[in-house]
Amino acid sequence: MIQVLEAELRRLAAFRVALRQFEFFSEQVSGKLGLTSQQYQALLVTLGDEGAVPFTLKVLAQKLNIKHNSAVGLVDRIEQLGLVVRRSCEDDRRSVRVELTARGKMVLNQLAIQHRRELHRVAPEFGRYFRHFARTVDETEWREPPRRGRKPAA
pLDDT confidence tier of residue 149, bands split at 50, 70 and 90: low
Q: What is the largest CA-CA distance in the chain?
A: 70
The answer on pLDDT for 89 being more than 80 is no
Q: Which domains does the chain have, with CATH numbers?
A: 35-130 (1.10.10.10)
Residue-wise pLDDT for 60-84, tens only, equals 999 999 999 999 999 999 999 999 9
Residue-wise pLDDT for 23-60, tens only, equals 999 999 999 999 998 999 999 988 765 556 668 888 89
- CB atoms under 10 Å from CB of 72, counted, come to 15
- Give the global pTM: 0.77
